[in-house]
Each structure stands twice: as structure tokens, then as C-alpha cells.
């Protein structure tokens, strides 16, 4: 059992930056993805980092603006140039698949990110 906890959400102005963190004991044995869900829309996978640190993924819309990194039992997501349509609940999740393609088994509770002027 992996109990993921997200933190770092909050209110930012358009164009601003925010760093999210996903933490859990044993997290470094898993590939970790970041997802976001806008109210009324489907959940979207936006980034992933493999458990070996040999592979990262970014959805096209965040390339060049978001950076995913590992720390000890943690994965961080640095987000820059945030826009209002990226207001969402952001979740991290864990998979055994080093390619980040398999179904994610464990999910955190989410952290709210609000981008507003």
C-alpha cells in the first residue's frame, strides 16, 4: 500500500509559478505521474517520471513550462507560466511501469491550484 500526499497548491496569478510535491514512504520504487482535473472535464495526465529516472513525459500543452523531478521519497512538479484554464485539482499517482503507460494503482487526495487575476 502506498499513501501518496500532494502539497503545494494554492492561488497564483496568471503567468505565475507554483511547485507541487508528492510524497510517500516507498515512493521512489514507483513511476509517478501528475494529473489534473478541471471541474466538468476528464482527468488529464500531464507529466510522469519513471522509477529509474530514465524517462520523463510531458503532455504537449505543458512542455517547456513544467518540470518533474525526484527527491528522496518525493516527486516535485515545478509549474511556470500558469494560465486560468489550468485551474484544477492536481493529483499524483503511482505505477509499476517504467514507461508510465500502465494503469496507475495508487492516488493521492489532490491539491487545488487556482490561477486567477
Query: What is the full DSSP assignment across 51-94?
Result: TTSS-EEE-GGGTTTEEEEEETTEEEEEE-S--GGG-EEEEEEE
Q: What pLDDT, on a 0 to 100 scale, did the predictor assign at position 1?
A: 86
Measured between alpha carbons, how far is 30 from 23 in angstroms, rounded to an integer?
12
Q: Residue 11 and residue 116: Cα distance in Å, rounded?
A: 7
| Residue range 93-113: mean pLDDT, rounded | 93
pLDDT tens for 17-48 read 999 999 999 999 999 999 999 989 999 999 99
Whether the CB-CB separation of 47 and 93 falls below 8 Å is answered with: no
Secondary structure of residue 41 in the 3-state scheme: coil
Amino acid at each position: 500500500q502506498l499513501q501518496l500526499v500532494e502539497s503545494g497548491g494554492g492561488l497564483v496569478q496568471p503567468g505565475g509559478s507554483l511547485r507541487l510535491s508528492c510524497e510517500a514512504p516507498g515512493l521512489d520504487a514507483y513511476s509517478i505521474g501528475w494529473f489534473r482535473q478541471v471541474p466538468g472535464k476528464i482527468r488529464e495526465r500531464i507529466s510522469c517520471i519513471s522509477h529509474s529516472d530514465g524517462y520523463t513525459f510531458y503532455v504537449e500543452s505543458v512542455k517547456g513550462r513544467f518540470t518533474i523531478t525526484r527527491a528522496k521519497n518525493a516527486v516535485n512538479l515545478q509549474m511556470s507560466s500558469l494560465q486560468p484554464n489550468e485551474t484544477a485539482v492536481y493529483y499524483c499517482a503511482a505505477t509499476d511501469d517504467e514507461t508510465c503507460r500502465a494503469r496507475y494503482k495508487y492516488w493521492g487526495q489532490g491539491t487545488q491550484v487556482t490561477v486567477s487575476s
